[in-house]
Structure 1
Amino acid sequence: MAEKHNLIINGSGSYGGGFFNKIKIRGEGTITSDFECEAFKTYGTSSILKNGTAGKFDVYGEVEILGNLVVDEMKIFGTAAVGGTGAIRKTKVWGTLDLGNRFSGEEVDIKGSLSVKGDAEFEIFQSTGAFEISGLLNAGIVKLNPRFGTSNADEIGGEKIIVKRKLGFFPFFTGDGSLEARVIEGDEIFLENTRAEVVRGNRVHIGVGCEIGLVEYKEEFTADANARVKQHRKVG
């Protein structure tokens, strides 16, 4: 088997794809066809015209992938846009990540912003930033502490769904971020600063800052005195 070489772009350049050990871009770089590498790093502006596969994928500048992206571990400190699907085992976002189609993996941690034009599916989904998911967000554990803006998804499903106001460094300050969803459904649900048409679960707590149209619960329902719940009913 041929030895994998490194692809280093300093300044500007356009290169074909292939199999590489490391890809590192400082400046402006374009990869014109499918590539696979152990590690990808960009500090400047990168364009990938087809599909990409990488063990590690680190973005400190800007990168645009027109096709699909398959990665084991991704870290975004800058801006990344994926035109197709993203299958990424572990993702951490301090900057911005946009996907034009489905996003899936084991674990994602959003401290910046995430946009998905499709469904998103993970084992663990955590966010202290903001996200917009046009379809279903499905995860075993959904843990949200929104610090800013309004995060939204059409539907959210999971075994445990927790949305809590983000506490600041000072006791009198809390983050003013919120969550909006059409439907939220899970086994255990704890919500604050959330607006939803329907919430369904086994055990449901509706906390401060919530506006809920209907709560359907099987075992237990509690609501804060300052929460607004139009209807609630026990089912099953």
Structure 2
Amino acid sequence: MRVTSRPDLEIAGIGSAAGGQYHSVKLEGVCKAGDAIDCFVFTSNGMTTVDGGIRAEERLEAAGKLTCHGGLQTRKAQLEGQLTINGPLQADQFVMNGYMKVRGNCETQESKVRGALSVAGWLTGDQLEIMLEGPCDAEGIKGRQITVKHAGKGGLRRLIESIIPVWHVQMKARTIEGEIIELEETMAEFVRGNTVIIGPGCDIDRVEYVTDLVIHPQAQVRWRQQIQG
């Protein structure tokens, strides 16, 4: 059993606090932390700004708008709304509904994202599932199983339109690499995998596959090659 003397931090309404080490952080309303936060559990509901990074060892839950002027690290993340991370993001389990902007790499083991996202670096993980409801882009995507699909006209449409007035539901990445890859509405220069399914709305310059390649009639692939595994 772990023993800690860290205090808890709670803000309700409009308030601010210093950064530092805490056991539990609970922020509701319009809240600001003046420096980086290191805690076990971080929850926010409303509009939260942290002038530094966030490390939540056990879990992080946020609803509303969360802005982090640094990196974010946690074991389990559950996010609803708008998330801005001015640094890298690391999480074992990552679930998000809304819009996310990461100015760095996004490293996870298991991700389920519904909405829109912008990752300045690489989006990596063992299992990556992205349901498109707005524009998504990353320098590259790498994982064991990668799924990118059009989510249709879901409940997040109004939120994303308020953040990005003019947008197109599409994933853009320079490179996508994995074992099992299934794509829809994706534009990429290079896709490589064992089993590759190129669905409707895709525009791919080059595909390399080991075992299987399926290309939808409403997709465009300029060059394809079967390679040794």
TM-score range normalised by the length of the shorter chain: 0.7 to 0.9
Q: Please point out which of 42, 49, 52 is paired with 1:67.
A: 52
The structure that has the greater radius of gyration is 1
Structure 2 residue 90 is matched with structure 1 residue 128: no
The answer on whether the counterparts of 2:109 and 2:125 sit within 8 Å (CA) in structure 1 is yes
The answer on whether the counterparts of 2:9 and 2:22 sit within 8 Å (CA) in structure 1 is no
Deviation at 1:3, TM superposition (A): 8.7
Alignment of 1:32-181 (within 5 A): 32-37=18-23, 39-71=24-56, 72-146=58-132, 148-167=133-152, 177-181=169-173
Could you say which residue in structure 1 is the equivalent of 2:226?
234
Deviation at 1:165, TM superposition (A): 2.0
CA 1:197–1:3 in 2, change beyond 3 Å: closer, same or farther?
A: closer
Deviation at 1:227, TM superposition (A): 0.7
Give the Cα–Cα distance (whole angstroms) in 2 for the partners of residues 105 and 190 of structure 1: 23
Deviation at 1:56, TM superposition (A): 2.2
One-letter code aligned to 1:196:
A
The answer on whether the counterparts of 1:76 and 1:96 sit within 8 Å (CA) in structure 2 is no
Could you say which residue in structure 2 is the equivalent of 1:218?
210
Give the Cα–Cα distance (whole angstroms) in 1 for the partners of residues 28 and 51 of structure 2: 19
The answer on whether the counterparts of 1:203 and 1:217 sit within 8 Å (CA) in structure 2 is yes
Could you say which residue in structure 2 is the equivalent of 1:203?
195
Uncovered stretches (5+) of structure 2, i.e. residues with no partner: 155-167
CA shift digits 1:44-89 (9 cap, x unpaired): 2222122212222221111111122111211211111111111111
Could you say which residue in structure 2 is the equivalent of 1:7?
none
Could you state the TM-score of these two structures normalised by the residue count of structure 2? 0.87
Mean Cα deviation higher: 132-141 or 69-78:
69-78
CA shift digits 1:109-157 (9 cap, x unpaired): 11111111000111011111111100011100011111x2111111000
Give the Cα–Cα distance (whole angstroms) in 2 for the partners of residues 35 and 62 of structure 1: 21
Give the Cα–Cα distance (whole angstroms) in 1 for the partners of residues 19 and 179 of structure 2: 44
Uncovered stretches (5+) of structure 1, i.e. residues with no partner: 5-18, 170-175
Structure 2 residue 179 is matched with structure 1 residue 187: yes
Give the Cα–Cα distance (whole angstroms) in 1 for the partners of residues 152 and 225 of structure 2: 32
Could you say which residue in structure 2 is the equivalent of 1:27?
13
Could you say which residue in structure 2 is the equivalent of 1:9?
none
Give the Cα–Cα distance (whole angstroms) in 2 for the partners of residues 167 and 132 of structure 1: 19
The residue matched to 2:179 in structure 1 has which SS? Answer: strand
One-letter code aligned to 1:177:
V
Give the Cα–Cα distance (whole angstroms) in 2 for the partners of residues 32 and 145 of structure 1: 37
Give the Cα–Cα distance (whole angstroms) in 1 for the partners of residues 187 and 79 of structure 2: 25
The residue matched to 2:22 in structure 1 has which SS? Answer: strand
Deviation at 1:35, TM superposition (A): 2.8
User: Sequence identity of aligned pairs in percent?
Assistant: 26
Could you say which residue in structure 2 is the equivalent of 1:10?
none
Could you state the TM-score of these two structures normalised by the residue count of structure 1? 0.84
Q: CA RMSD in A?
A: 1.8
